[in-house]
Structure 1
Amino acid sequence: MTSSASPGLARFNEAADRAAAELLHDVCASRAWGAAVAAGRPYARLDDLLAASDAAVVALTAADLGEAMAGHPPIGRPTQGDPASAREQGGVGDAERDELLRLNLDYQDAHGHVFLICATGRTGAQMLAALRERIGNDPDTEREIVRTELGRINRIRLTRRTEEDPA
């Protein structure tokens, strides 16, 4: 490890295997993704960690993607007591919430899993438009869109976790 590692990245690199696995599981529920990212420790720079995350997302099987998606709440219904979930879905206003939840159920019927989108920085209207656009996708197309969105979410969460002050 070089001195260019941030204190948060250094903590992640030096964490016991169990603690690192827990942090990674909080980022992404896929065990395969977490194992692949953990196996690359130590990371000299955040960019190295993010590149490992990207490679691990690309390597996920359909079952691994399913496991990852199972860890995400529906858009419009952040996980209770989870500030990250609330922050990520902060762009959803009351006006869009009911419509997002209704369309998410339709999407789940069509695709067998929650609608996954990187909500950070998107408004409720933008997420509704994406949901309406994607609901009719064939399974292969949608799986690759989900893979891309999962990669974005993981990058944001990893960045945030390695830059957080634990105090």
Structure 2
Amino acid sequence: MPAQNRGPSVRGLAGFNAASPAEAEALLLSCCHSPRWAERVAAHRPYPTVDALLAAADEAGYDLSRADLDGALAAESSAPPHPDAPPAARTALRAAHAAYESSFGHAFVISLEGVRPGEHLDQVLAGIRSRLGNEPEEERVIAADELRRLARVRLAFRLSEGLTRRHSEA
């Protein structure tokens, strides 16, 4: 699962709602590198609940133009294989990522939400292999959906991360 850079430290939904537009957009860009998406989600603050924020993020993701989606996908990077993975698995994963990027022009994106950590490598390899046979437009639709799912997971994590840090500091 490709990771984005960490955004600014915004603590929970209240912190997100109270953050400056630049801070909120920076946090959002750490989840999905689409300025239009980040601006749109930030502009509709305050959100009454995290679920409402995540729903707005999903909706904004469906409205990405082709150029917005291309930019967001271009900013993704392939996750390196886990260092504890067997050498053959690391080699297979690197080769699969390279084949995918060569075919589609961007990193392979997949949300591993709900997949046990021990199954991530197998899930990524299976996903790449199954999606390599897709036509470019079909894969664009799938990649856009996976990017929306990733943005949602990243955003929920970023918001909870600030709260967890605050509680552990108390």
Give the TM-score, by structure 2 length. 0.80
Q: Does 1:8 align with 2:12?
A: yes
Q: 1:22 to 1:92 in 2, by over 3 A?
A: farther
Point out where structure 1 has 5 or more consecutive residues left out of the alignment.
Answer: 1-6, 78-89
Higher relative contact order (CA 8 A, sep 6+): 2
Alignment of 1:56-95 (within 5 A): 56-76=60-80, 93-95=85-87
The residue identity in structure 2 corresponding to 1:106 is A
Query: What are the superposed Cα offsets for residues 42-92 of structure 1, whole Å, 9 maximum, x if unpaired?
Result: 100011101111111101122211211122221335xxxxxxxxxxxx698
Shift of 1:152: 1.0
- Deviation per CA, 1:15-59: give whole Å up to 9, x if none: 011111111111111111111111111100011101111111101
Tell whether 2:26 aligns with 1:22.
Answer: yes
Cα drift, residue 93 of structure 1:
2.7
1:158 Cα deviation after fit = 1.0
1:105 aligns with 2:98: yes
Q: CA deviation at 1:94?
A: 3.9
Q: 1:97 to 1:25 in 2, by over 3 A?
A: same
Aligned length: 149
Q: Which residue of 2 aligns with 1:38?
A: 42
Is contact 1:76-1:92 (8 Å) kept?
no
* 1:148 aligned onto 2:145: yes
Question: What is the identity, as a one-letter code, of the residue corresponding to 1:93?
Answer: A
Q: Deviation at 1:119?
A: 3.4
**What is the CA–CA distance in structure 2 between the aligned matches of 1:91 and 1:127, rounded to whole Å?**
15
Q: What is the aligned-residue identity percentage?
A: 38
**Structure 2 unmatched runs, 5+:** 1-10
Give 3-state SS (helix, strand or coil) of 1:143's partner: helix
* CA-CA distance at 1:154 after TM superposition: 0.9
Q: Secondary structure at the match of 1:144?
A: helix
1:80 is aligned to none
Distance in structure 1 (CA, Å) of the matches to 2:73 and 2:83: 20
TM alignment of 1:107-122, pairs within 5 A:
107-120=100-113, 121=115, 122=119
